[in-house]
Chains A and B, each alone.
Chain A
Amino acid sequence: MSSKAHKKPLPLTLFITVVLGAWLVLAAFPFLWTLWGSFKVEGDFFSKANWAAALTGELTQTETGGSVTGSGYYGAWIEEEFWRAAWNSTLVCFFVVTISLTLGTLGGYALSRSPHRYAFWFLIIALVFRALPQITLVSGYLPVFFEFNMWGYLPTAIVVLIAINQPFTLWMLHSFFKNIPQDLDESAMVDGCNRFQAFRHVIVPVMWPGVITTGLFSFLLAYNDFAVTTLLLNQDNQTMIPKIGSFLGTTQTKGNVMFAVSAVVSVTAPLFVMILVFQRQIVSGLTAGAVKG
């Protein structure tokens, strides 16, 4: 960094600092604001008189007697049974991540080791599938799911999410496996392993960094999904995001926007922790496709 090529004139440094400062505020402030506001009553967070009421919490003081209140959280988690949605989300995420990684590692490994043309075509088709907006597929599912009485259940949504996730998982793991030297598994095969044994005993122990990164993105897909889960799950089986969507329709008219605000904060918290812990893997995953090509 002490290199002279990196020294900057003052106006440039100033400009860069301003950009950085403005961006940090833009990126972080909305979350802090909503987190703070979720402990107030609606009259404060959406104050007609003065926006600063959300900071001081005047109405919260008069309505509840304290400067902060957990009523929004109580309403959302207990009264509106958000815990049920949280549990459904946990199930969906767990199964989607484990199953799609299992399928994806097998497929990605084979794609990275096959020199044939059809492997390339397979990847191209997966790329096209990946580009399709997921919601275009849903109208294809509905009549069939109604016909076989599969609509509304968690396993249906899980299977659909796994399938939708496959193209991305395959691409990602394919490029990770490409970076593992072929000599490794080939020498195992020379020593008498068959393909699967070579994969099992030689590749599996070294593949975890790539698998964890891919798993994070599979998790995000399952956790963040709104379109598929809203249209494929019934009321009781809803995951968290569609549940928040339904808050917008129903509770807002009842004046319980704060339920939605608390639910939003509750959904965001695990993501914060995830980014904090896995920041490095996320960054490497996002740039995996880009930097090399």
Chain B
Amino acid sequence: MKHKTFFWFVLPSALAMLLFIFLPMVSIVVQSLHVSHEQVIIEVENCGPFGCRQSTTVDQEATESLRDAKPLGQFAGLTTYMDRGHLAVNEVGDAWNAARGWRDFGGRMLNLPFYKAMAFTLTFTFVVTPLVIILGFLIAVAVNSATKLIRGQLIFVSLLPMMITPLVGALILFWMVDARGIVGAFLQDISGDPNLSIKASTPLMWIMLMVYGVWHSAPFAFIVYYAGLQTVNTETLESAMIDGASRAQRIRYVVLPHLLPLTTFIALMQLMDNFRVFEPIISFSASAHATSLSWAIFNDLGGETRQLSSAAATSVLTVIGVIILLTPVLIRTWRDFGRK
């Protein structure tokens, strides 16, 4: 294809991505280096019947004109990154000096919003991903061994948790585990504690969020593995059997090697998706117990005061995290391309 034709074909798409993905990325980097202007304070003399007094007020006009002249705010360098809401350099240093042992240090770190969000995001990512792979594999094997007649229906039901809107799926589960819902009541029964409430307990909330994560993503791993199982070479399987391989050996040496590349694919997709965990925290109203990086950005942007610089700084840190996670994929794609 000629360069010129290629250019015209990809132009609309490229333009959309340039304007609404690339430029916003530049914009968050710039914003994160600025903070909004402080209000201009002036001293005025108020003279009343009891004499004159000095008082300070906000000069609205001057503040407005300053904001109009420099809408980005004033340049602040890396201060936003270093403050308590983000990397909290000073606080970490203090915690390090004051801490008695590792546990204590960890506890102190979890009081800092960024590290709290980071801790949950990473735990979620690295707990949910392997569980999704295992459960997805089990379901795929189970569905694959069911009779052909009902497989269609089985796949339909299995797809539901993934295709349903995350916010909605999480809400449905949340209402069931509510202390007044069916699963909540059941949990109270088996634990023998009538006041057991997931909303009130941090460990339970973390577990519940991860249960949701596995429930939501397992269908993806299932579908990929199921498709993989359809293409396992039956001739190889049978010849392995003729050579005297047991069932376990056949799975170990024929089926699993066939599924291995799929596992890498699922793992990478899941790492990326789980890293942005966000909606379940809203649905479960879990922010008191667990926050994620995406939630932190959302929280800064929503509400009355939009803290743009703070959100931008968290966004930049999140993007850096994503790029670190993505490096293996990029290297792999690069090698694949080199081979072709």
Contact = CB atoms under 8 A, between A and B. Distances in A.
A127 B23 CA distance: 17
Interface stretch (A58-66, A68-76, A106-114): A106-114
Given A23-B158, A289-B265, A224 B166 contact: yes
Interface stretch (B43-51, B198-206, B227-235): B227-235
B128 interface: no
Contact of B180 (A33, A47, A134, A276): A47
B220 interface: yes
B279 A226 contact: yes
Contacts of A136: 28, 294, 297, 315-316, 318-319
A8 B145 contact: yes
A38 to B, nearest CB: 10
Closest 6 CB pairs of A and B: A140-B24, A163-B20, A110-B9, A107-B13, A133-B276, A140-B27
A10 interface: no
B308 A143 contact: yes
Contact of B20 (A9, A159, A169, A195): A159
B156 interface: yes
Most B Cβ at <10 Å: residue of A8, A103, A122, A129: A103
A113 B157 contact: no
A34 B168 CA distance: 11
Interface residues of B, number: 112
Interface string B249-266: 010000000000110011
Given A5-B234, A20-B146, A28-B157, A271 B180 contact: no
Nearest to B322: A131
Chain B facing A: main interface SS: helix
A291 B228 contact: yes
Contacts, number: 301
Most buried by B among A1, A16, A134, A286: A286
Interface of A: 1, 3-6, 8-9, 13, 16-17, 19-20, 23-24, 26-28, 30-31, 33-34, 37, 45-48, 50-51, 54, 102-104, 106-107, 109-111, 113-116, 119-120, 122, 124, 126-129, 131-144, 147, 159-160, 162-164, 166-167, 169-170, 195-196, 220, 223-224, 226-227, 230-231, 241, 244-245, 248, 257, 260-261, 264, 267-268, 271-272, 274-276, 279, 282-283, 286-287, 289-291, 293
Contact of B17 (A8, A140, A143, A167): A167
A167 B16 CA distance: 10
Interface string B274-312: 011011001101000000011001101110001010011
Contact of A141 (B24, B176, B186, B278): B24
A114 B6 contact: yes
Contacts of A167: 17, 21
